[in-house]
Structure 1
């Protein structure tokens, strides 16, 4: 879920190439659907983790879940704002016509991206390492 959420990005208003634009919107909507279809599973598995792992694992999973949900909502809000404005012909138009709420959502997405990348590249494996170690006599078989 963290990787799928990290790949999710808001739609842009600049229409450089219509095919690329449609492909980008389609892939973003695919990521949104994937995350929305698996929200209950994410919550359930995260809550159930306390029975297999210590509280430190559940804490980091809760933090990741919060970032995933925050990013999802920020992307949906940003896409809605940009959809209302319609496409822009150039990059300058996209920047100059920016709603202050867009900036807030963009900053939230950037922060979530930083956390999620660090989560799946480093934090999760560090927290899980003690649980994944095998005793020496078992690892020989």
Structure 2
């Protein structure tokens, strides 16, 4: 009986140490998120106004360098609200250090020309785990501005 109690106690201690070890491993993880919008500047006036609209299905690339020196390349498409999101969970030692977000293409039928100053955004990623970084909107313009804008 005494041997059975000892075995039961050692199993319990092993299970507890495993749980504590797993919690310590997962608590050192890091989660980051980058998001932004893509907009059609209908009047090509560099202001987002009531005539402008979001672009669903626009493609954005995000390139990040981690603290350990790895390069990670992400591809994202905007949703029905014109928002793209890139998220990653990794060990704290491998977290993002610096990133570059850039628009790739707009699949809208007439708003396909990238606006001035929208070639990309470089930034340091210094957010704590669980927080996100918001990129300013990327703007596309139509090839021809509608007459009501002139």
Range into which the TM-score falls when normalised by the shorter chain: under 0.3
Structure with more of its chain in strand, by fraction: 2
TM-score (norm 2): 0.20
Structure with more of its chain in helix, by fraction: 1
Larger Rg: 2
TM-score (norm 1): 0.21
